[in-house]
Chains A and B, each alone.
Chain A
Amino acid sequence: MPFLVYLLLLILYLVSGLGILQLFGLRLKPAYTITLSLLLGIALASFLPFLLQLLYIPLTGFTVFGVLTLAAILLSIPTVLRIRREGPGGLRTTLVPAHFQVQPYEIPFWVIIGFLIFVSVWRCYYLPPTSRDALSGPEAIAEFAYREHTLINSFFKVDLWSTNNQFKSPFLICLQLIYKLAGFPFGQVWLSPIFIGLIVFLYNALREKVHPIIVGILLLLFIMTPETYAYTFMILYDYSNMVYMFLGLYFLFAYFSAGDKRNFYFAGLLIGIATYIRSETLALALLFLPPMIIAQRREKLPWKKIAISGLLFFLPAFIGYYLPNGVYIQHYLPVHYDVGALVNSNLGDVSPLFKRYGDIVNRLLVSGFAIKLWCYIFFVTAALFVAEAVFVRRFTREALNWLYAIGILYVGLGLLGWVLPVVDLNDTTKRGMFKMLPLCLMYLANNTLLIRLSQTVSRWELTPALPKVAGKPALAAGRSVLTRSGKTVAASGSGPGKGASAVGKTAPASGKTTPATSGSRRKRKK
């Protein structure tokens, strides 16, 4: 029975998430549509019981599953309208790949990655939550919410002086509650779809840029980071926060490349979800304001429009921050949390800031301890970065975007540790570093040397099979081409969009890639 409910919940997430994608008008490749729908649905599910709590509605199986179903029904309206407009074929092309092509040499990577996923999923299902931060806060609140039908339950009557975990985001509490209500006493199983969703998304995103063997290697390096892998079956906030923050940046950079506002606002929503999961994400997101302004100025937008779109972009993040922190903690919980009291009282002294930056490098990036946390992924990234800087002496725009994000994260995590001493190095900052991993992966996928290697392998692989054009062999479909200007462009059939013909503004000639097919309904009609 619980497994049936589990499947039904997945369907509800897919329907809800697909509806949200329709609302943004995003037309993506099936792999992106399905993974994003799932991830959006899970995020929505983590919010709805919280909303019920804000309205003082008891959290029972009826109300929780009822509101999830109601949301799925309401959010399916845009999808239904689309089916009516385009016929079922329109939806089918959204969800079913036109041609699913697997190369035999991808399979060994799939097997090993599948093994790692299976082990993680099993541990998620079989074992109870273990991290102290979960047990002394969100998991305990969820357990008593399950028994008492409210998030504001008897847990708050016990002595909580030794912990501040009761003030953590309702994200984890609500998802735990849903799965306890579904018959999974340990909850946790919601984490696996997030993990798998990210892996599938990353696999496709990387495959657009580099050869599948390089994709397999990069993805393996990513999954086999010991610390991050542990959090694929140990519920806490940082893994999920990493997923939504990465996706937000992915679509933000897609906007930088293609200028499609839908990507921009969708990125805002994803960063809003990441902020709902971990409130300090808002501070990190604000550090992306300068490139956002530059990108919009490049489009010659007036300042007023830039200000309005900036506000709209950050609106989900402000809501994701304010509802749990400003409303719920301050006005609903019987115990209060004074964030102001946590702020460093001696901000005039900047030496701890530089010490923190040094500690991040010395302890979390290059030490023996760092190898036990991340193995060698940062070393590989650094080596290829140096190689690109020395031998190519130029970075693609996409690579620069991801490098900027890595830099911003480093700057932001250091600042947070300085402003809020409670953000300690060995726990909070360490887990904050999770967010750097997919950024490194995306930088590597845009590394000129790896792209050239991919092109060489692809040419060698396809030379006899394909006719030569203008004396040069055609490139493999689904891989990027490095132009003379140093930009990467998606080859035919690549990009999260459904094919180069639908890329609209982002036709390969423009030298830009985009995750959305952006559009071009007009083109599709033609």
Chain B
Amino acid sequence: MKSFLLMLVSFAAIFIILNAGYYKEWFTAKPVQYWSDFLKEKDDTLDQAGILRERYGIVYTICMRVKDVMAKKKVAHPVILFEPNSYYRDSLHVYPNIHAPEPALFYYYTGLEGVWTNSPDVAKANFLVRMSKKGIQLDQITSPQQLQHVLAFYKKYPPSL
């Protein structure tokens, strides 16, 4: 009988914690949601790439598109220049939904070398990724003059995470 009463106390304590203040909000938004995700995920047929796409979102998808294009074009040593994130934030107002990955992250995703406008190796850039609400555009940089022109355009937008 006493064990039963203590068991009721246990249930009451758990009930109170799960419904107290922010615990309730968090428990519903996180563990319960994660459980719902699990019920879907356990039966899904996504492969590794699909899981990565779903988890990392649009930026990962863009990076992989760049990789696919480079593979199709059979570019020997592509170096991808990204626009500064401050440009997306202050000019296009699409940040942070759309943002440029930092070179380390781009390499992790794709195995390709990426640079930002202030990178020491920016002179090696031979492609420029332009992102906007309308889509993604990959421009080839064919000459140092063209690269300087591009860098001059983004000069007032310092790169940032």
Residues of A within 8 A of B (CB): 103-109, 112, 115-116, 119, 122-123, 126-128, 130, 132, 135-137, 139-140, 143, 155, 157-163, 165-166, 185, 213, 216-217, 220-221, 224, 226, 229-230, 371-372, 375-376, 457, 460-461
Taking a contact as CB atoms closer than 8 A, the residue among B7, B23, B56, B113 that contacts A128 in the complex is B56
State whether the Cβ of B135 lies closer than 8 Å to any Cβ in chain A.
no
> Are B23 and A162 within 8 A (Cβ)?
no
> Are A460 and B2 within 8 A (Cβ)?
yes
A sample of 4 more A-B contacts (CB under 8 A), given A213-B13, A375-B23, is A130-B55, A137-B104, A140-B108, A217-B17
Taking a contact as CB atoms closer than 8 A, the residue among A132, A224, A460 that contacts B27 in the complex is A224
Alpha-carbon gap, A224 to B34, bound state (A): 14
> Are B35 and A119 within 8 A (Cβ)?
yes
CB distance from B111 to the nearest CB of A (A): 8
> Are B31 and A115 within 8 A (Cβ)?
yes
Q: Which chain A positions have C-beta within 8 A of B41?
A: 122, 126
Size class of the contact patch on chain B: 35 or more
* Listed A/B pairs (20) with beta-carbon separation below 8 Å: A104-B6, A105-B10, A107-B7, A108-B14, A109-B14, A112-B18, A115-B35, A127-B55, A128-B52, A130-B56, A157-B113, A159-B113, A159-B114, A159-B120, A213-B6, A216-B13, A216-B14, A224-B23, A372-B26, A376-B23
> Are B108 and A136 within 8 A (Cβ)?
yes
> Are B51 and A220 within 8 A (Cβ)?
no
Our count of residue pairs bridging A and B at CB distance below 8 angstroms stands at 135
Q: Which chain B positions have C-beta within 8 A of A221?
A: 17
Given A158-B107, A160-B104 in contact, is the A103-B22 Cβ separation under 8 Å? Answer: no
> Are B14 and A220 within 8 A (Cβ)?
yes
Alpha-carbon gap, A216 to B107, bound state (A): 45
Taking a contact as CB atoms closer than 8 A, the residue among B10, B35, B52, B105 that contacts A108 in the complex is B10
State whether the Cβ of B142 lies closer than 8 Å to any Cβ in chain A.
no
State whether the Cβ of B38 lies closer than 8 Å to any Cβ in chain A.
yes
> Are A229 and B10 within 8 A (Cβ)?
no
Q: Which chain B positions have C-beta within 8 A of A122?
A: 34, 38, 41
**A457 nearest in chain B by CB position:** B6
Taking a contact as CB atoms closer than 8 A, the residue among A104, A162, A220 that contacts B103 in the complex is A162
Alpha-carbon gap, A161 to B159, bound state (A): 11
CB distance from B12 to the nearest CB of A (A): 10
> Are B21 and A132 within 8 A (Cβ)?
no
State whether the Cβ of B3 lies closer than 8 Å to any Cβ in chain A.
yes
**B1 nearest in chain A by CB position:** A464
> Are B10 and A123 within 8 A (Cβ)?
no
> Are A162 and B38 within 8 A (Cβ)?
no
Interface string of B128-161 (1 = CB under 8 A from A): 0000000000000000000000000000000101
Given A106-B10, A185-B48, A375-B23 in contact, is the A116-B17 Cβ separation under 8 Å? Answer: no
Alpha-carbon gap, A88 to B100, bound state (A): 61
Alpha-carbon gap, A4 to B52, bound state (A): 24
> Are A136 and B27 within 8 A (Cβ)?
no
> Are A375 and B26 within 8 A (Cβ)?
yes
State whether the Cβ of B30 lies closer than 8 Å to any Cβ in chain A.
yes
> Are B56 and A109 within 8 A (Cβ)?
no
> Are B35 and A213 within 8 A (Cβ)?
no
> Are B17 and A220 within 8 A (Cβ)?
yes
CB distance from B62 to the nearest CB of A (A): 16
**B17 nearest in chain A by CB position:** A220
State whether the Cβ of B116 lies closer than 8 Å to any Cβ in chain A.
yes
**A229 nearest in chain B by CB position:** B30
> Are A160 and B13 within 8 A (Cβ)?
no
Taking a contact as CB atoms closer than 8 A, the residue among A155, A159, A165, A460 that contacts B119 in the complex is A159
Alpha-carbon gap, A158 to B20, bound state (A): 49
Q: Which of B30, B35, B107 has the most CB of A within 10 A?
A: B107
Main secondary structure of the interface of B (DSSP, over half): helix
Alpha-carbon gap, A129 to B146, bound state (A): 38
Q: Which chain B positions have C-beta within 8 A of A213?
A: 6, 9-10, 13
Q: What are the 3 closest A-B residue pairs judged by CB atoms, nearest first?
A: A140-B108, A105-B6, A159-B103
CB distance from A364 to the nearest CB of B (A): 15
> Are B108 and A375 within 8 A (Cβ)?
no
State whether the Cβ of B115 lies closer than 8 Å to any Cβ in chain A.
yes
> Are B2 and A158 within 8 A (Cβ)?
no
> Are A103 and B6 within 8 A (Cβ)?
yes
Q: Which of B3, B17, B18, B104 has the most CB of A within 10 A?
A: B104
**A158 nearest in chain B by CB position:** B107
Taking a contact as CB atoms closer than 8 A, the residue among B6, B11, B104 that contacts A461 in the complex is B6
**A374 nearest in chain B by CB position:** B22
Q: Which chain A positions have C-beta within 8 A of B3?
A: 103-105, 461
**A225 nearest in chain B by CB position:** B26
Interface string of B45-68 (1 = CB under 8 A from A): 000100110011000000000000
Alpha-carbon gap, A180 to B8, bound state (A): 46
Q: Which chain B positions have C-beta within 8 A of A107?
A: 7, 10
CB distance from A466 to the nearest CB of B (A): 12
Alpha-carbon gap, A372 to B23, bound state (A): 9
Alpha-carbon gap, A105 to B4, bound state (A): 7
> Are B104 and A375 within 8 A (Cβ)?
no
Interface string of B84-106 (1 = CB under 8 A from A): 00000000000000000011110
> Are A158 and B10 within 8 A (Cβ)?
no
CB distance from A34 to the nearest CB of B (A): 25
**B5 nearest in chain A by CB position:** A105
Alpha-carbon gap, A109 to B103, bound state (A): 46
Alpha-carbon gap, A352 to B34, bound state (A): 40
Taking a contact as CB atoms closer than 8 A, the residue among B4, B55, B121 that contacts A159 in the complex is B121
Q: Which chain A positions have C-beta within 8 A of B38?
A: 119, 122, 126
> Are A108 and B11 within 8 A (Cβ)?
yes
Q: Which chain A positions have C-beta within 8 A of B116?
A: 159, 161-162
> Are A224 and B26 within 8 A (Cβ)?
yes
Given A119-B35, A127-B51, A216-B10 in contact, is the A159-B115 Cβ separation under 8 Å? Answer: yes
> Are B7 and A104 within 8 A (Cβ)?
yes
Alpha-carbon gap, A116 to B27, bound state (A): 10
Taking a contact as CB atoms closer than 8 A, the residue among A112, A143, A159 that contacts B108 in the complex is A143
CB distance from A63 to the nearest CB of B (A): 24
Q: Which chain A positions have C-beta within 8 A of B34?
A: 119, 122-123
Q: Which chain A positions have C-beta within 8 A of B18?
A: 112
> Are B104 and A139 within 8 A (Cβ)?
no
Q: Which chain A positions have C-beta within 8 A of B6?
A: 103-105, 213, 457, 461
